[in-house]
Structure 1
């Protein structure tokens, strides 16, 4: 099937009760990407925010009066992967998708063009990402290793020291493009045709491990690699739309164990889950809030306990 892209990039952003950040992210993309040889659009998916938050965002976007911005309101919280897939549904036929968190700001001038040019010149690239910075423009870890039993039990730092050729140092400041396992989901620039071929995000994952799963499937199925592009930079305020609590930690463990079983098999999941059951039993003796997590792990951390199953359809 032939694929004829109409524009270069469809930028997809999810808003969830953080209209202020979303508007600034949209404005940042428009202000910083002015190259005349690049065409792009911005699709904002409101993931069933409170009515006043959506109305505030809608009024701010209307002030921009930009034809390149589409605002879509969902009556259901689809999570990260599902929300982005909804954005893909409303996107034009694009050569690339840029999945960008709403709590980000563009730093590098014409960042989208820089990433597009890299992808055009690197046929084996499926995903690339700029270097992430914090709000003070200091280095922030952008790359990571695929989840596995060694990573979860031995931990990243030990693996990086013991096997440096296999486990790239995440905290190094790189000067040239680096092939990596995966990049943070806060800014992923993706070849649209490859993304479409593998079916996009796995929407069983509600909040975590979507980017790792996507990079691994692109590598396994299409031999497409993921790259960090240090010459491009962006600010990520990080987790402004997610309030950290025990339910979020439970969601993270459910997603991790689902990912492990999907890519490494049932037995690997069983080993890791047993490790967590023992670990969080003792943690719960010190921090009682972990008993809720321990009970979920004891039940095998099934997807039926995911936050995805607790979402309600609300009238618009």
Structure 2
């Protein structure tokens, strides 16, 4: 496709109805930018293949096996023809022309060492959802433990949203992988998502590497994407999902920390895990396997 400004890459895994609703919202609202949609299917078995092969509006790639979120996005990015890549979760619904807003912001800030951009995601009740975060540090984990003990109240998100409202955009450590907008040249420069990550922490790792190039990660004060988080999971937090989170976290720690500081981060992460396990209704065997994963 000639003259593509933005390549929207969506990864589908057994969410045919949700993914189609996401695609329909893209076509309904995107008016002022030339875009393409690349749908990468992680070996879905819910009829997705038959359904999406008929949709001539999109470029559809069916994979023979589930290779994970990051690697599937890499497949889409490699096929993309746009100046920018917009990695959008399949469990999202657009309410306005978000792509044009992201595109215009990026075009106006290329000279400001732009690395990535994301919006303020909202949930189905139109309330702010997880849209950005801080890189792992011992200080951050200590604060999270103190929050649990009611000794410390985390003001990070409140302060960030306040500053964001005042300025309209703000630098953050990383933006959510659910709506990650990035110049293709930057994505290629860092080698895309690390293939070792299956799911979780891959977007944090990607933006950590981008930060090492002194490129900025921005969040913009736009609330036009509903994120129905966890659409591929039947339970609120099934054990399989928690295990993937734990494996992703451990891989991230192994990549970015060394020596005594790495041991400190692992120990603190173990304490956070223990706190979480108290609330989760897992078997003793499942809890033990999660703990072993942290210290593996």
TM-score by length of 2: 0.85
Deviation at 1:160, TM superposition (A): 4.5
CA distance 1:278–1:191, change in 2 (3 Å): closer
Q: Map of 1:64-79 to 2, 5 A cutoff?
A: 65-66=56-57, 69-79=58-68
Match of 1:20 among 10, 17, 20: 17
Distance 1:290 1:170, change over 3 A: farther
Structure 1 position 296, deviation (Å): 4.5
Q: Displacement, 1:266?
A: 4.5
> How many residues were matched structurally?
283
- Which SS does the other structure have where 1:208 is aligned? coil
- Are the equivalent residues in 2 in contact too, given 1:99–1:188 (CA < 8 A)? yes
2:230 is the alignment partner of 1:239: yes
Paired with 2:20 and 2:280, the residues of 1 have a C-alpha distance of 42
Which residues of structure 1 form unaligned runs of 5+?
A: 303-316
Q: Kindly state the Cα deviation for residue 87 of structure 1 after the two structures are TM-superposed.
A: 0.7
1:56 matched residue in structure 2: 51
Residues 246 and 289, structure 1, Cα contact 8 Å, conserved in 2: no
Q: What's the TM-score, normalizing by structure 1?
A: 0.80
Deviations 1:263-299 (A, max 9, x none): 1224334333334556666857995525434334336
**What per-residue deviation string (whole Å, max 9, x for no partner) do you get for residues 179-231 of structure 1?**
111111110111110111010111211111111111111110x2111111113
Q: Show the counterpart of 2:130.
A: 141
Contact kept, 8 Å, 1:48 with 1:76, in 2: the verdict is yes
Aligned to 1:305: none
1:105 alignment partner, SS class: strand
Give the distance between the partners of 1:128 and 1:15, measured in 2 at CA.
22
Alignment of 1:201-240 (within 5 A): 201-220=193-212, 222-231=213-222, 233-240=224-231
Counterparts in 2 of 1:281 and 1:43: CA distance versus 1, 3 Å: closer
Give me the whole-angstrom Cα distance separating, in 1, the residues matched to 2:190 and 2:279. 44
Which residue does 1:199 correspond to in 2? 191
Q: Are the aligned partners of 2:193 and 2:206 in contact in 1 as well (CA < 8 Å)?
A: yes
Partner of 1:309: none
Equivalent residue of 1:150, what SS? Answer: helix
Tell me: CA distance 1:26–1:278, structure 2 relative to 1, closer, same or farther (3 Å).
closer
